[in-house]
Amino acid sequence: MVDKSHTAYKTIGEVSKELNIPTHVLRFWETKFNKIKPLKRKNGHRYYTLESISTISHIKNLLQNQGLTIKGVQRVLKGKKEDLDASHENSNSYLVKKELTEMKNLLNEVIRDLKSTDT
C-alpha cells in the first residue's frame, strides 16, 4: 500500500488512527472547538487538512498532556496570537514527524534508484 502524501486530505478514520483519538471524540471536538473545520462532502464524509490535523494534535496535547479542561483549551485557542503560537509550538511534533517521515521515504527511494543504476 502506498502512503498518502503528508499534505493530502485525510479521512476521519485516518486521522483517528494517526493521532490515536476515537472518531466519536473527533466529531465531539468539532462541536466544541471551532478551529476544527473538516471539509464535509455531500455524503457527510469528513476530510481533514494538515492544518486541521495539527490543531487536533494541539488540542489533544492540551487536554491529555497538560491537563486542561475543554473550557481551558477554548480559552487558549481564543487567546492572544503570541500565546497561541507559543503553546502550539509544543504540539507541532505531529507536523515535524510527518515531514521527516516523508523525507525519509523520499531518500529511501533515491537510494534504491541509485543502487539499481549502479548494477
Tell me the residue type at 2: V
Q: Residue 60's closest CA among 94, 9, 86? A: 94
Among 9-13, 27-31, 62-66, 77-81, where is mean pLDDT lowest?
A: 77-81
> Would you put residue 67 in left (φ > 0), alpha (ψ -120 to 50) or beta?
left
Asked if residue 86 has pLDDT above 60, the reply is no
Q: What is the dihedral of CA 30, 35, 38, 43, to 10 degrees?
A: 50
Work out the burial of residue 46: count CB atoms within 10 Å of its CB; fewer than 13 is exposed, 13-18 middle, 19 or more buried: buried
Give the model confidence (pLDDT) of 19-58 as tens digits: 999 999 999 999 999 889 899 999 989 999 988 888 899 8
Map out the domains of the chain with their CATH numbers. 10-118 (1.10.1660.10)
Please state whether the predicted TM-score (pTM) of the whole model is above 0.85.
no
